[in-house]
Structure formats: C-alpha cells, structure tokens
Amino acid sequence: MQKDASLADDHALQKHVISHSIGYLPLMLFITPLTSIWWSAITDHNGSLQLSITRFLADPTESLRWYSLPSHDIGVAFAKWIFFEAILYTVLPGRVCAGQPTPSGHNLPYTVNGLSFLICSVISFLLAAALGWTELSFIAKNWRDVILAANMFAWLLTGLAFVKGRMAPSYKYDTRGNDSYISDIWRGIELHPRFGAAWDLKIFHNGRWTMTALAMIDISFAALQLEINGYITYTMICVMLLRNLFIINFFVNEEWQVPLYHQCPTNILI
C-alpha cells in the first residue's frame, strides 16, 4: 500500500512538473515577439499597443525577424562593452558588506562599488565619443541591432546560468532545481551563482551594467534628438533627470539593496 501511495505521489508530482513546464514554454518563446510588438508600437503606430498587437495578429511572421542575429559590427561592439564592464566590476574597489544569511547558512560578501562603476562607465562612453571612437548617438542609431544583441546575450547567459546551476552550483544547498529543464530555465536554479568567492553573476547583470546602460541609452537618444532637431526637448530632459535620479539613488543606497539579491534564484532571461 505504501509503495502504491508513493508511486501515486510521484505520478502526481510528475504531472505537476509537466503542466508547469508546458505553461512556461510559451512564455519563454513569446518574450522575443513581445519585443517586436513594443518596437512596432513606438516606431510605426505612434505608441499605440492596440494597433501594434493588431498588426502582430494579422502577420505574426513579422515578429520572427526578431529571432535573427544583430549585425556583426554591433555584436562585436556589444561584446566588447560587456567585457569592459566586467573588468570594471572586477577591479573597482569598494566597501565590502555582507548579505543576509542564505538558506544554507552562508554569509556572502558583496563589494559596494556601484556608484564608481556608474561614473566610470558613463565617463568612458563620453570620452570615447570625444576621442572620435564612437558617437554619442551610436546606441540610438543602432537601437534595433542593440536590442537584438542584448536579446541574444540574454539567451546565451540564461543557458550558461542553467548549465552552471545543474553541473557546478556555487552553493549546492542554495539551489532550487526541478525535474524539468524548462522549469529550471524559466525559474532559475541558483540563488547566488558566482565565479570564485566574490564575482557575483546576478549583481553584475542585474545591478551593474544594465543599470548604467539605462543612463547611456538616455544620453544616446538625447544626442540623436539634438542632431535631428538642433535642440533637446523638455520631455527628454525630464526623462533623463528622473531616470538618472533613480539610478543614482539605487547605487547610493546599494548596501540597502544587497539583501534583495537574496530573494529569488537567478533567471537572466526575464
């Protein structure tokens, strides 16, 4: 009887895992077409999501183009920038603080260097433009390819996080694996994926280069607006001020943010 009950429980658990996996799969696959819907709304329909969705439903194949690769030049530039940001994250000094204890009892150290990371990143971007290595409007002018590069990088990084979590977790008792690969990819496996003792994959991607990228994107679109119109609109100035206020506040209060990184497993895809 106990054996039959155990088999029934295993069967019920398997059905539960399969049902969740079936639910996660379309969400994963729809992320990329969703990008095309937002893009079309902004560029073709004056911000109307309704018209963009209508167009998508009429011709879904249009969204398949967003599964393509970025141009070679943009892909290389994006890879170089990520590599440069990784170097900054590694070498910039900062006060070391400890997060909350993990479920398995580890007290992980974090280097609070976010504000200096932001300053160095933005200054590097401005300096590269001043030296003629790039244009301030480079991101805005190549926005579609930049999104494609970021999308491709997100898929690659999600795969890396999945393989690492399955094969070489940093702290094996701080993982949340399932019997479904799809579920693990969607929900994440590791709470604190790290390379070595302190190079935190989650901090770098969620709390470093993506945050500074917001500031650089605003600068780039403001520069493009200046090139086209000869002036920067008050709306753009307002957006830049408010967004950068948020970014600076995030980094100034970074030590307060550290406990939040302990709340959920790493899922780079979303």
pLDDT (0 to 100) of residue 187: 74
DSSP structural state of residue 67? G
Which backbone phi and psi does 97 adopt, to 5 degrees?
-125, 165
Mean pLDDT for the chain overall: 81
pLDDT (0 to 100) of residue 258: 61
Instruction: With beta carbons less than 8 A apart as the criterion, state whether 63 and 33 touch.
Output: yes
pLDDT digits (tens, 9 = 90+) for 128-139: 999 999 999 999
Looking only at the bridges linking them, the beta strands covering 194-195 and 95-98 are unpaired
pLDDT (0 to 100) of residue 60: 76
The domains of the chain are located at: 1-67, 69-263
pLDDT digits (tens, 9 = 90+) for 71-88: 999 999 999 999 999 999
Look up residue 171 and give its amino acid. Answer: Y
For a pLDDT cut of 90, what percent of the chain falls above it?
36
Contacts of 257 (CB under 8 A, 6+ apart): 207, 250
pLDDT (0 to 100) of residue 102: 73
Q: How far apart are CA 248 and CA 34, in angstroms?
A: 29
Instruction: With beta carbons less than 8 A apart as the criterion, state whether 143 and 216 touch.
Output: no
Q: Which is higher by pLDDT, 112 or 191? A: 112
Look up residue 165 and give its amino acid. Answer: G
Sign of the alpha-carbon torsion through 101, 103, 105, 106: negative
The pLDDT confidence band at residue 255, using thresholds 50, 70 and 90, is confident
pLDDT digits (tens, 9 = 90+) for 2-59: 444 454 445 555 555 565 667 677 777 777 778 778 888 888 888 888 888 888 888 8
